[in-house]
Amino acid sequence: MTDALWYFGRGTGVVSLVLLSVVVALGIGARSGRTAFGLPRFAVNMLHRNAALLAVVLLAGHVVSLYFDPYAQLRFFDLVVPFVGQYRPFWLGLGTLAFDLMLALIATSLLRHRLGARTWRIVHWLAYLCWPIALLHGWQTGTDSSTWWLRTVLALCAALVVAAVAWRVTPSFARFPARAPRRVRILEEAR
């Protein structure tokens, strides 16, 4: 059972990070108001939301499985308070910090209608802080941190988000693209 928990914990952590990278890139793309991948804007937003939900479920699986894994030897305190763990405290603490930021993002997303769009958007900017912290955690924590396959996955995640950010800061990025002028026909002109 211990091996199963360890593999499940590692796998859910990696897949969660991949999904979070996709979520960040889609979130950046959704701000442009343009369609992405030939999908309408609402579909990009739904994909962003559903990928985020799946990432959160996998993140919960990651945390819970490693909590119950005797090899990881995590205490409940280690899961919510950063930088107090016994195993690589700084790098594990980054994971805890990213988890705490994720909890804040989840809570404010659930309360979005009560908080208002402006407050929610300000807190939602934590995603830009949460993602690189989670990436660093994945890079330096765990037994796979020095393997070629994990380094490749992390590099691809970083490349995706860096490409999205680079596109975001280009002059061609517009929050709301200019609309084509509408032609209004007056009933008399149609005759």
**Alpha-carbon dihedral angle through residues 41, 45, 50, 54, given to the nearest 10 degrees:** 120
DSSP of 151-173, one letter per residue? HHHHHHHHHHHHHHHHHHTSTT-
- Rounded (10°) CA dihedral 109, 113, 114, 116: 90
Backbone phi and psi for residue 50, each to the nearest 5 degrees, phi listed first: -70, -35
Query: Closest by alpha carbon to 142, among 92, 101, 93?
Result: 92
- The tens-digit pLDDT sequence of the chain (191 residues) is 678 888 999 999 999 999 999 999 988 877 765 666 677 778 888 888 899 999 999 999 999 998 998 887 888 888 889 998 888 889 999 999 999 999 988 888 888 888 888 888 888 888 888 999 999 999 998 778 889 999 999 999 999 999 988 887 877 666 555 555 555 555 555 55
